[in-house]
Amino acid sequence: MSEKSGKKRKLMKKKINDKKTNDKKTNDKKTNDKRTNDKKADKEIKRNVAARIFLLAAPFLCGGFYEWASCLFLVILTGYLLYLLKQSGTVAVKMNLTGFSVFVMVISYGVSMLWAVDRGMAVLGFVKFLPLLLFLVIIMQIREGKDELLDTVPLAGCFMTVLSLGLGQIPLWRDYFWVNKRLAGFFQYPNSFGLFLVAGVVILAGKDVWNRRQIISIIVLLSGIVLTGSRTSFFILLAVLAGYTVFHKNSGLRKILLLLMAGLAALTGLYVLLTGNVSNVGRYMTSFTNTSTFLGRLLYFKDALPVILRHPLGLGYMGYYYLQGSFQTGVYSVLHIHNELLQVFLDVGWIPAVLLAVAVVKSFLTKQTGLTRRMLLFAVSVHCMFDFDLQFIAVGFVLLLAMDTESGDERRIASKVWIPAAAGILMGVSCWFGIVSGFYRCGEYETAAALYPGCTDAWLKMLPRAKDEEEMGRLADNILELNQSASLAYSAKARLAYAEGDFESMIEYKQKAIALARYEPEEYLDYFDMLYVGVQLYEQAGDKESAEFCRQKLLEIPEMMEEVLDETDELAYKIKDKPDLVLPEEYQEMLLFMEL
């Protein structure tokens, strides 16, 4: 019995030791797993913090409207992607419609330089919109905390509203923050700034529970929206709040949102009562009676649709601006068409525009998109139908955060030797274009053109500064090599031909200039003056045939103006700037003399 008892004790001891060993291994594994998870969590937190800081700062760089701001975004985002790649060894890319549509749109801006109206500016368009693609890749790396990224929008909106109100009191900076007595913030454009503030309200109003800080933030954002005087933003805000009162999970908050809508009206009235300033608030009251702005935009859209049909690949970045004078049927000059969907059609064609529209709709309808993101998609998308909001890259970031970026199969891009080199080249090129854009925006046009000869805008700014006709002709040639639709360049060539006594070339260039600026009375009068002098010079020289040729071209000018008026749309007479293509009395008297 003792021998058996000894064996049992040894067996029991062995089992106890084995159990202790297994427990130790299990505990060690749990500890290691915990450490690994903690490290992953720390990395995730660092990623989120860096992304939040970027999103918080981006709107303050003029909303990312200018190319130099996009170049700065590119440097930061490229460096951040390199950091993520170094940390994890791979970068995740989700294969979904959102990513595909953004990729196609951005690449199309680059490829469009092959057929763009302006090849040089098309390159800048690619640089401007490339940050959207890099930012999309970055948010695909964030598995948790995407809502925290959205929280930076109302925070940035509050800071910007307070800073703009404060700094806008300084006379030197007043015109920067206020445009036509409307608060424009760092965006320098009240309408898109208003949308950014609306996005902040949408995000805060969608919270399940409100705390004191959120309530104060909403009040600040609402005050900023009122001061922007943006009617579209105001009515979109009302629509969103009404939507929340129906679909919000918290019944108590639904009642508060109803009170908020009433409070918004009270806040508007209080502002008028305390300040006596109705210039901003009055805009809301005239939304349905003062329709000049609305009809003007309808005219832009109406004029652009045939152009979109004729150019399925688009006109390239800034192509619409340069070409609009040749097809417009009313008096206007706009940099962008005030409709982002049509702008994408005009810039890069049908395929990118349709893909982007479908991606937005799909993101709105997919189950993964919660109520807050749906409301945000609604607000941004509707506003984009009446303004050029996506030209502000910071607004594009907000749109991407609201879209579906989580669905689809995941592909991992492993770290390669060539990736840092390619990233370094991209960052270097971005710095170069950023410097070019910076010099241009500072009025250093000669330096900008010297650094990047494809900067057509810089050449055009230099043209009126030309010292003599020879320099004017050289500048005009540089412009026309890049852009065959620059009216000002043809006018300069016409002026040079006139100075050289080459009236045949003058007529050719001037007619091209007029064809690209049909509603500019100064072009017709300048043409008239040169032809009138030509008639006199040829008559003095005894060249009757040339004098008669110039006289006939002179007599055609009223017909040219009448032809443009015949093609003018009825909407053109219902907006603020109306067609004025009638020769002054003294010119009509000279015509009568010529007809004798």
pLDDT for 32 beyond 80: no
Rounded to an integer, the average pLDDT of 570-582 is 91
| pLDDT attached to residue 288 | 47
Amino acid 513: pLDDT: 96
Residue 424 confidence (pLDDT): 93
| Residue 410, phi then psi, degrees to nearest 5 | -100, 130
Give φ, ψ of 178 to 5 degrees: -125, 130
Q: What percentage of residues in the chain have a pLDDT greater than 70?
A: 86
Dihedral sign from CA coordinates of 104, 107, 109, 113? negative
pLDDT in tens, 48-90: 788 899 999 999 999 999 999 999 999 999 999 999 888 888 8
Confirm if 151 and 95 have CB atoms less than 8 A apart.
Answer: no
φ/ψ of 513, rounded to 5, equals -65, -40
If one compares 43 and 426, the residue with the highest pLDDT of the two is 426
Q: Would you say residue 150 has pLDDT above 60?
A: yes
pLDDT at position 20: 63
Q: Are 116 and 316 in contact (CB under 8 A)?
A: yes
- Report the alpha-carbon distance of residue 336 to residue 343 in Å, rounded: 7
Question: In terms of pLDDT, which residue wins out, 1 or 295?
Answer: 295
Domain ranges across the chain: 44-423, 486-595
Confidence of residue 115 (pLDDT cuts 50, 70, 90): very high
Average pLDDT of the residues of the chain? 88
Residue 38's pLDDT band (boundaries 50, 70, 90)? very low
Helices (H), 329-468: 340-348, 350-365, 371-384, 393-402, 418-441, 445-451, 456-462
- Model confidence over 291-344: pLDDT tens digits? 678 888 999 999 999 999 999 999 999 999 999 999 999 999 999 999 999 999
Determine the pLDDT at residue 4: 58
* pLDDT, average across residues 10-26: 65
Residue 45 CA to residue 220 CA, distance in Å, equals: 29
pLDDT at 144 > cutoff 90: no
Task: Locate 497 and state its tokens.
Answer: 């031909």
Give me the pLDDT at residue 276, please.
Answer: 53
pLDDT over 90 (residue 380):
yes
Task: Please give the pLDDT value at position 147.
Answer: 78
Nearest to 203 by CA among 129, 148, 253, 256: 148
Q: Do 168 and 67 touch, CB atoms closer than 8 A?
A: no
Predicted pLDDT of residue 289: 46
Q: How confident is the model at residue 429 (pLDDT cuts 50, 70, 90)?
A: very high
pLDDT tens profile 197-214: 999 999 998 888 888 898
Q: Give the mean pLDDT of 453-468.
A: 92
Cα→Cα distances 331→300, 321, 513, 514, Å: 10, 14, 16, 14
pLDDT beyond 80 at 270: no
Average pLDDT over residues 257-269: 68
Contact 196, 153 (CB under 8 A): yes
The span from the CA of 131 to the CA of 139, in Å, is 12
Share of the chain above pLDDT 90, in %: 65
Structure confidence at residue 394 as a pLDDT band (50, 70, 90): very high
* Neighbour tally for 166: CB within 10 Å: 11
